[in-house]
Structure 1
Amino acid sequence: MKAVLGDYRENVTTKKKNSILRSIKRDSLLYLLLLLPMAYIFIFKYAPIYGVLMAFQDYNIFQGISGSEWVGLDVFKFIFEQNSFYRALTNTLVLNFLDLIAGFPAPIILAILLNELRFVRFKKITQTILYLPHFLSWVIIGGMVYLMFSTGGMANSVLSSLGLGNIEFLSQKTNWLIMYVAVGVWHSVGWGTIIYLAAIIGINKELYEASDIDGCSRLRKIWHITLPGIKPTIIILLILQIGRMISIGFDRPFVMGNSLVSEYSDVISTYVYRIGIGSGDFSQATAVGLFQSVVGLIFLVAANFIAKKIGEQGIW
């Protein structure tokens, strides 16, 4: 009996190996195409993880990681005693929260509006115009914002000609925050609609036909068909957005910030740049980056857990 079972298991194992070899041979070109992205992920995502060790060292650039002195958690203790770190952390959370409130619903609303357009050519032209800002560098956008909204910019020139006086768009806290969020929405809203438009296209058309027979208005179809149809996509993207609450891009706050609003524009990414590249303290910069990653992971897991608890589909 044992011999029979052994032969059976051996045959099953052999069949599995042959099946795997046949699939690799059949899809060999696809596996070759995977080598480049896999190499990219390994070289630029996994290999640099070794550098996290600098967060626990008094890192010396000349001695390297292997020769630098180990200090344990002293670097983290020093960072957590700095008021500038808490200011950068607070600013990061505030700016990301404002982006979440203003920027997250924007592509959803825009995708629904575009989906309701019946003039196909106008719809395509509108989509193209809305996508274009995504491909502009933040350096270019920062120059455009400065030329238009600085004290002597185009907007203030128009206001002065109307006798309304100048508005400090980029040097007062509230005005700067409004500009920061508005420019961010303008930059990303068109590109974000692609995902939601794809989700809307996947909704069963028979539901809309049935609602037409029942005499539903457009608003009712949006509320009862379109929004529930894209709800899983919205939940997944919301979870990912919450997971990024502690992290923020470097380009946008650095380009749009200035010395007059540095109290509000200094975020984690600019803080890391300042202490890492500016001051040459790579241990502190690495420690802040590690802290940022760990807290971001906690946010992501918590958001996914809450989504599962309320009966929604998470990202895993």
Structure 2
Amino acid sequence: MSHSTVPRSRAEAKSKTAREKTPVASGGVTGAEGKRPPGKLSLKVRFRRDRLLLLMTLPALVLVLLFNYVPILGNVVAFQDYDPYISENGVVSILNSPWVGLENFQRIFEDSAFWDAVRNTLVLFFLQLVLYFPIPILLALLINSVVRPRVRAVAQAVLYLPHFFSWVLVIAVFQQMFGGAGMLSQLLRENGYNGLDIMTNPDTFAFLVTAQTVWKDAGWGIIVFLAALASVSPDLYEAAAMDGAGRWRRMWHVTLPALRPVIALLLVLRVGDALTVGFEQILLQRDAVGPGAAEVLDTFVWWNGVRNQDFSYAAAAGLVKGVVSLGLVLAANKVAHLMGEQGVYKK
């Protein structure tokens, strides 16, 4: 054995062993010297590695900033008596409009029409949460249990097709089915009964809106849950079957636990969207049933801001809605964390 491979002293041997055990971070910086966990890349290295991907996302980022974040600055008119006719330049109009402080918010909380819109919004949200949210899960489980791939594909396509329809077309279809001169009313009259006009009945309007939402958007939810089911390993089903588990027990102990993270995520997003229950859908039917049954927060903001030209009052109502929605998202995400799920973001 040559002298070059043998340490000259015990101290040199310990030093060599310590150097071999010391983790070196990427980029040649140790975890202790660079104050970074072992294996974590520096920001400069990550930027250089992902620069092409960042460049590809730049146009989308610019669009999001222009159309989602820059308009947030316009919420300042909620604290003003905004007059858009002061100048042709909207920024100049904002700068020259007088400040009124919290006067618009005081008007909102004293307005009975606002609280009626809040009540209608919450009723529609709870109905859609109870009646609409479980339906895509059940349909996805049903389609996933179909053995023949061709039958499964046809069923999925038929259920997903209404998602591409506009709300005008959806409401027209329901009008032809359940309106005063629709197929249901004609069938009842032909058999000696009085006809029904569900489309103009304020008492059943909430259920009508929920049924329209289910028919139009259940197919989209099916795709999301089917994608989650596709990631479940078949070995889990085989192991459960070998242990004597039947179809229902396999669904309860294998399928539903696999869907739980997706269900938690969509539930958090649904709760955050609680105060937005379909602006276009309800606006198209508002005159048929009256504002007492169809007025929600979005139509309330539109009616006061666009139709009545009370921009500051409408902006204050929209700002209240945004703050409450943010609080609902944070609360629902906290509940997801307590359930052991990730939710929208990690802890």
Same fold (TM over 0.5): yes
Equivalent AA in structure 1 for residue 63 of structure 2: Y
Q: Indicate whether 1:217 and 2:240 are aligned.
A: no
CA distance in 2, matches of 1:243, 1:19: 36
Sort the Cα spacing of 1:38 and 1:167 in 2 relative to 1 into closer, same or farther, 3 A.
Answer: same
Equivalent AA in structure 2 for residue 123 of structure 1: R
2:205 and 2:289 in contact (8 A); partners too = no
- Hey, what does 1:228 align to over in structure 2? 257
Q: Indicate whether 1:39 and 2:62 are aligned.
A: yes
Q: Indicate whether 1:85 and 2:118 are aligned.
A: no
CA radius of gyration, larger in: 2
Sort the Cα spacing of 1:35 and 1:229 in 2 relative to 1 into closer, same or farther, 3 A.
Answer: same
SS in 1 for 2:138: helix
Q: Indicate whether 1:165 and 2:194 are aligned.
A: yes
Equivalent AA in structure 2 for residue 48 of structure 1: P
CA distance in 1, matches of 2:115, 2:48: 57
Pick 1 or 2: higher relative contact order, CA cutoff 8 A, min separation 6. 1
After superposition, the C-alpha distances for 1:76-123 in whole angstroms (9 at most, x for unaligned) are: 101111111000111001101101010110100011001000111111
- Hey, what does 1:123 align to over in structure 2? 152
SS in 1 for 2:284: helix
Deviation at 1:166, TM superposition (A): 0.8
- Hey, what does 2:330 align to over in structure 1? 301
Deviation at 1:142, TM superposition (A): 1.5
Identity %: 37
Q: Indicate whether 1:61 and 2:84 are aligned.
A: yes
1:79 and 1:85 in contact (8 A); partners too = yes
- Hey, what does 1:194 align to over in structure 2? 223
SS in 2 for 1:314: coil
1:172 and 1:261 in contact (8 A); partners too = no
CA distance in 2, matches of 1:276, 1:165: 41
CA distance in 1, matches of 2:160, 2:292: 32
Deviation at 1:20, TM superposition (A): 4.1
- Hey, what does 1:185 align to over in structure 2? 214
Q: What stretches of structure 2 of length at least 5 have no aligned partner?
A: 1-28, 36-40, 87-92
CA distance in 1, matches of 2:159, 2:229: 18
- Hey, what does 2:174 align to over in structure 1? 145
* Paired residue total: 304
Using the size of structure 1 for normalisation, the TM-score is 0.90
After superposition, the C-alpha distances for 1:240-268 in whole angstroms (9 at most, x for unaligned) are: 11111122321111123334343111111
1:133 and 1:188 in contact (8 A); partners too = yes
Q: Indicate whether 1:52 and 2:75 are aligned.
A: yes
Using the size of structure 2 for normalisation, the TM-score is 0.83
Q: What stretches of structure 1 of length at least 5 have no aligned partner?
A: 1-7
- Hey, what does 2:129 align to over in structure 1? 100
More helix by share: 1
CA distance in 1, matches of 2:124, 2:255: 30
1:96 and 1:248 in contact (8 A); partners too = yes
2:127 and 2:207 in contact (8 A); partners too = no
1:180 and 1:256 in contact (8 A); partners too = no
Residues 17-28 of structure 1 aligned to structure 2 (within 5 Å) = 19-20=45-46, 22-24=48-50, 27-28=51-52
CA distance in 1, matches of 2:204, 2:259: 34
1:91 and 1:266 in contact (8 A); partners too = yes
Equivalent AA in structure 1 for residue 279 of structure 2: F
List 4+ stretches of structure 1 deviating above 4 A: 15-18
CA distance in 1, matches of 2:114, 2:241: 57
